[in-house]
Amino acid sequence: MTKAIGFDKTGGPEMMKWVDVNVGEPGKSEIRVKHHAVGLNFIDVYFRTCLYPMRLPGGLGMEGAGEVTAVGEGASRSSSRAIAWRMQKSA
């Protein structure tokens, strides 16, 4: 089981929880990444406080770097490659 910082209600830092996350096999055109670093920025605060609305439950970390550990059908990355990513969450 993987750990992450998540929240199921918006608000202050007291909403953040250390939670278990089940990371399954990647689906079509998806990859699974073992994170070596995750960036936390003001955008994470904006989502957590609902300044920018998002679907709940939510989590922190809009960018990161790590290693590809599994590749779904049709994905263009091979396993064991270094990768960096950034993400845009939608409301």
- For residues 40 and 1, what is the distance between their CA atoms, to the nearest angstrom? 22
Give the residue from 31, 84, 41 showing the smallest Cα distance to 62: 41
Domain contains 50: yes
Model confidence over 1-56: pLDDT tens digits?
Answer: 789 999 999 999 999 999 999 999 999 988 898 999 999 889 889 999 999 988 89
Is residue 54 in a domain?
yes
**Residue 16's CATH number:** 3.90.180.10
Whether the pLDDT of residue 91 is over 60: the answer is: no
Number of domains in the chain: 1
Q: Is the separation of the CB atoms in 31 and 70 below 8 Å?
A: yes
Q: Is 49 among the domain residues?
A: yes
Do the domain assignments include residue 91?
no
